Chains A and B, each alone.
Chain A
């Protein structure tokens, strides 16, 4: 680690902390922000996510080494964490800190885009099935049953066979298209109960059409489970990407993702636990932070959760 990278890291930390502090400050005036920050963990989660996003964006400044370069295959394999190699090196003598930093770009990107796609699709399908019921429900939910019954890895292997080495966008699409089944079930169940509620009947009595009823009256009331499922979804996508990488069909080496770093480090887990520990820690950190932030968003969206 050079002075420059330390400085960049420090600046990143300060920026992230300042950003959270600034937003918290808004909570003094704004009702929604105040509810968002009601729990302390939300601030931490938001701070950690902000930090990781800036790290991913500013990777060249923060990473001291080329993440894919084998520094010294004779003397520096599985070097434990030190001041030079903050998180140690892996079996191919690559700097783990640099790889975690660059891997954040890939992993956060796949996680965010994949989960966004999965949750949007799941919400749409679930809402349609739950609202229209009858044959729409039957057709969509049997489709979901098929999707849940097929091992996802088979679908993904099929996609790999078709694409021959998945480029990043294709990987996101494939993950997104195969991760929405659970969400759609959840949303459907929620919509089934919400559509019976008096205020939905009242909205129809006012002349609202189905689109308006679904998107304005039903789904906002189902926001809590949708958001929680999105937060969990990011974690699942990260882990899925890891298992795909493990099978060699995810991100192509030598490019780093947290998933394939765990896969690469797995054989030497006893001799060099740091090579799996740190990318694993990064994934856990993202998932936990997301859950904390998701709780905050849920509170912010729900005006009933008022406290005096």
Chain B
């Protein structure tokens, strides 16, 4: 299902021209971690945001709930994060708190450090319900047990009184999910939810997220560097590079016809079980420093197809012809230029 193909689906979360900059320590420059990012999230869908480390995925997700540490970070005026018609960036602190954990919840990468070590998991799961729904102690505990059951933790009546250190990594991530979902949010932001877990647990957690998304009817913003995760779980994908959206497409289209050379490189870097064994492809070089993005297309120093125009002028997001598929690359308008120099 491609939402853009539907008549006019209501947008749940609209991000427009998001710019989150960080002032560096010695005043040597401004790190433009997220630089003019726009995307939409529709009710009930899973939108994957992919990119390698340092491309701005996590800062994007933190910016949505205004959790970017300030200073040094700040979201520039002119950015818009609209949730159900309200600009989150313009909300007062109490209004914002009423959204956090209640309408939009978040789970983090590190289940080991994202739980408070001195409280039981039951206390922590109940916390959002106590904050937003003013549950009594007893009701909150009952809710915590129900949530533990929902996320598939055995013996929830007993586990509710356990401390985080008594649980395994996978269990803790389930607890994190229970914490985030206790108020049945409309949007769940999952920032690399499985990166710290081993592959079998990873699969279980993603399966759990899929099931809960289906049961609770929420939209998920799935942030990951793992294209395999995106392929299996996202409806649409936003590819980020150097603080910019470089390609956005329905998942099928992205994997069938990757258009941006960066996406192409990422896909080529995934090991395949059905291909002859060979050296894995790697994109040469590294993501440049956020204080000094290259001029023109930010990917051109690493791009195998780059020509003069790429260094001189940055392309806008161009329509590829497939509905909902756009790419920030001059190859969309000049496909005959696609000749690798390497």
With an 8 A cutoff between CB atoms, is B39 at the interface? no
Do A206 and B115 form a contact, CB below 8 Å, given A201-B67, A303-B163? no
What's the tally of chain B residues with a CB closer than 8 Å to chain A? 34
**Docked-complex contact B101 and A301, CB < 8 angstroms:** no
Q: Known contacts being A202-B176, A202-B179, A207-B101, is A221 close to B118, with CB within 8 Å?
A: yes
Q: Is the CB of A207 within 8 A of B99?
A: yes
The answer to whether A198 and B108 touch across the interface, beta carbons within 8 angstroms, is: yes
Complex Cα distance, B141 from A94, in Å, reads: 61
Contact check, A303 vs B117: say whether CB atoms are below 8 A apart: yes
Which stretch (B12-20, B127-135, B209-217, B305-313) binds chain A?
B127-135
CA distance A198 to B109 in the complex (A): 9
Contacts A205-B100, A206-B131 known; A199 to B165 CB distance under 8 Å? no
Contact A208 to B118, CB < 8 A, known contacts A197-B113, A198-B113: no
Q: How far is it, in angstroms, between the C-alpha of A201 and the C-alpha of B105 when the chains are bound?
A: 12
- Report yes or no: A207 in contact with B102, Cβ–Cβ below 8 A: yes
Indicate with 1 or 0, residue by residue over A275-308, a CB within 8 angstroms of chain B CB atoms.
Answer: 0000000000000000000000000011110100
Q: Is the CB of B100 within 8 A of A204?
A: yes
Give A207 to B117 CA distance when docked, in angstroms. Answer: 19
Mask, A175-212, CB within 8 Å of B = 1, is: 00000000000000000000011110111111111001
Per the bound structure, the CA–CA distance linking A199 and B106 in Å amounts to 12
Q: How large is the interface on A (under 10, 10 to 19, 20 to 34, 35 or more residues)?
A: 20 to 34
Q: Pick the residue among B127, B166, B180 that contacts A208 (CB under 8 A).
A: B127
Do the beta carbons of A301 and B118 come within 8 Å of each other? yes
Does chain A have a CB within 8 A of B114? Answer: yes
Known: A303-B163, A303-B165, A306-B165. A205 touches B65 (CB 8 A): yes
A217 at the interface (CB under 8 A from B): yes
The residues of B that contact A134 with a CB separation of less than 8 Å are 71
A217 to B106, CA, bound (A): 17
Nearest chain A CB to B116 CB, angstrom units: 4
Q: Does A220 contact B (CB under 8 A)?
A: yes
Interface string of A102-146 (1 = CB under 8 A from B): 000000000000000000000000000000001000000000000
Q: Which residue from B114, B132, B165, B176 sits with its C-beta under 8 Å from A207?
A: B132
Residues of B within 8 A of A197 (CB): 113
Which residues of B have CB within 8 Å of A199?
Answer: 113-117
Within 8 A of B (CB), among A218-241: 220-221, 223
Q: Which residue of B71, B105, B115, B119 is within 8 Å of A205 (Cβ)?
A: B105
> Could you tell me if B114 and A198 are in contact, using CB atoms closer than 8 angstroms?
yes
In the complex, chain B residues 87-126 whose Cβ is within 8 Å of any chain A Cβ: 93-94, 97-102, 105-106, 108, 110, 113-119
CB contacts (< 8 Å) of A209 on chain B: these are: 93-94, 97
> What residues on A are CB-neighbors of B100 within 8 Å?
204-207
Chain A: CB-nearest residue to B96: A207
A202 to B110, CA, bound (A): 11
Pick from B94, B110, B165: contact of A304, CB under 8 Å: B165
A279 to B248, CA, bound (A): 78
Which of B67, B116, B131 has the most CB atoms of chain A within a 10 A radius of its CB? B116
Contact A206 B116 (CB under 8 A): no
A212: chain B residues within 8 A (beta carbon): 131
**B127–A206 CB distance below 8 A:** yes
Task: Select one of A201, A207, A216, A220 contacting B108, CB under 8 A.
Answer: A201
> Given the complex, which residues of A lie within 8 Å of B98, measured CB to CB?
207
- Nearest first, the 7 A-B pairs at minimum CB distance are A206-B101, A207-B101, A207-B100, A198-B113, A303-B163, A198-B114, A205-B106
Between A and B, 25 residue pairs with Cβ closer than 8 Å are A134-B71, A199-B117, A201-B108, A201-B114, A202-B176, A202-B179, A205-B67, A205-B100, A205-B101, A205-B105, A205-B180, A206-B100, A206-B105, A207-B97, A207-B99, A207-B100, A207-B101, A209-B97, A212-B131, A221-B116, A221-B117, A302-B117, A303-B118, A303-B163, A304-B163
Further pairs besides A217-B116, A304-B163: 4, Cβ < 8 Å: A205-B180, A301-B118, A303-B117, A304-B117
